[in-house]
Chain A
Amino acid sequence: MTTTLALIALLDGISYASLLFLVAVGLTLIFGVLGVLNVAHGSLYAIGAYMAATLGGWLTAQGYNPWLTFPALMAAAILTGVVVGGLMERFLLRQIYEKDPTLQLLITFAVFMVLENVQRMVWGVQPYFMSEPLRALGNIELLGIRYTAYQIVFLPVMAILTMVGLRYFLRHTLAGAKIVAVTEDREAATSIGIDARKVYFVTFVIGACLAAMGGALATPTTSVLPGMGANMIVLSFAVAATAGLGNIEGALLAALLIGVARSFAVYIMPETEVLMPYLIMVLILLWRPMGLFGAVQARKI
């Protein structure tokens, strides 16, 4: 493997890891607070991508400035997270918080299957493209390699901003303090006046927005087509489990590890590309069963 190829693999990995982190951190946040492993998280990623492609495509068709596709990506993510995520929490998850984790897993899996078909009904099976944001930002040269600024600057910056923002929100705002308190001890939090139900709702919607943002930001780099949610949910589970479920900072490192390893596999041994993320997860879990940064806790699943 030449140095140039290694560098390209690294850049590919960083770009992919940024998207992976956004989805995985939403998943891990929801698990950390609500204790639910939400398989339907993958649907939010896919719907976010479809919404971004639809909204961005419409703006482009109307002849608007291509830079407007950036706010469109954000709008698609927030709309998807608030509407789809909000409805999901309000009418489904709220009914199953006290139930057996296996049942929760099965129900969110059922929601995932239903939403997969809803996507096919609404958007069909043909792929969607929306490359305006990619072209608007152009290319940059890094150590002699030309790479799209969208993938190697914009996406990593968004991932880091999300992590810093999330950390600040949880540590330094009242809403964040409520989330932290409910996560630690729901009853003690209620006894000092925190409405845990509202906290669950807000947390779920934030997590859903993060998944949808991963999907929306992925749109310019890939074709949006059926099945993309399934791929992403499995990978983001691997990231969240490698980091230790519920760990936000760890998710960034695990996403980077898995994203980069996967892209090196593509260049060195393409047949191991699909296997690589799970190989890393298995090795790390054999070494540290609670994940890289996980703390020992009662068994959930």
Chain B
Amino acid sequence: MLELQSVHVSISGISILRDISFRAGQSETIALVGHNGAGKTTTLRTIMGFTQTRGSVTFEGRDLIKVAPHDRPGLGIGYAPEDRRLFSGFTVEENILLPARIAGLSPSETAKRRDRAYSVLPELKTLAPRPAGSVSGGQGKMVALGRALMSATRLLLLDEPFQGLAPVLANTYAAALRRLHELAPEISVIITESNPELLERFANRVITMERGAIASDRIVQQGAAQTPA
């Protein structure tokens, strides 16, 4: 579904990603793990089109590099960046619904996606009328996930969603991701995380990055690890 082949990214002359190649299949949940600066965030930003990229990125047969960044959500890709990045001038619900308004979705499709987001994250319902600038850091991560879910019909990219979350909220967030997998198993998810142990509980594949390159790529299922075919 998503395939990166020999992807290189440099920022201000410094090589950030070196020869990244991997393929994400439908319904996979991939954990992209590694230390700070390993290139995890840059990998997600490359998929979203925010970097100058050499190499090939294809999504469902389309050359993604030729698709303008603002057209990528329309392909069914949702992205929750690090640090939430909500629009504080709007309420929580306005933040969540904005991608649907921009995509010009029909009211029924909008309602369907919103309801799915609320089923995955029931706490969003109570937060809905609040100004987005007033929610806590952890709640903001939920809102950012809800907003990404409005676009993510095929692929969901989550950048460091667990960073800075209190253990209780981290569990809530993990439970939400499991619910999403039950409700919409067709969606592939890529999550970046510095702490691999957090993700192995629900990721079925772990890609480890080191200094801008892929160090290992393992399938993890019920504790058994193996190299993907």
A interface residues, tally (CB under 8 Å): 17
**B50 engages A194 (CB within 8 Å):** no
**A193 engages B71 (CB within 8 Å):** yes
**A181 engages B98 (CB within 8 Å):** yes
Contact partners of B74 in chain A: CB under 8 A: 193
Of A180, A185, A187, A195, which contacts B50 at CB under 8 A?
A187
Interface of A, helix, strand, loop or mixed by DSSP: helix
User: Quick one: given A177-B98, A180-B89, A196-B70, are A191 and B79 in contact (CB under 8 Å)?
Assistant: yes
B103 at the interface (CB under 8 A from A): yes
**A193 engages B103 (CB within 8 Å):** yes
A190 at the interface (CB under 8 A from B): yes
**B89 engages A194 (CB within 8 Å):** no
Q: How far is the CA of A189 from the CA of B102 in the complex (A)?
A: 10
In this complex, the interface size class of chain B, counting residues with CB under 8 Å from chain A, is 20 to 34
A1 at the interface (CB under 8 A from B): no
Contact partners of B81 in chain A: CB under 8 A: 187-188, 191
Q: How far is the CA of A196 from the CA of B98 in the complex (A)?
A: 15
Contact partners of A178 in chain B: CB under 8 A: 102
**B48 engages A191 (CB within 8 Å):** yes
A61 at the interface (CB under 8 A from B): no
User: Quick one: given A191-B73, A192-B151, are A184 and B50 in contact (CB under 8 Å)?
Assistant: no
In the complex, residue of chain A having the shortest beta-carbon distance to the beta carbon of B94: A177
A174 at the interface (CB under 8 A from B): yes
Contact partners of B99 in chain A: CB under 8 A: 192-193
Listed in ascending order, the chain B residues whose CB lies under 8 Å from chain A are 48-50, 68-74, 79, 81, 85-90, 94, 98-99, 101-103, 147, 150-151
The 10 closest A-B pairs by CB, nearest first: A188-B85, A192-B99, A193-B73, A193-B102, A195-B70, A191-B79, A190-B70, A190-B69, A180-B89, A184-B87
A-B contact pairs, 7 of them (CB 8 A): A177-B101, A184-B87, A187-B50, A191-B79, A192-B99, A192-B147, A195-B68
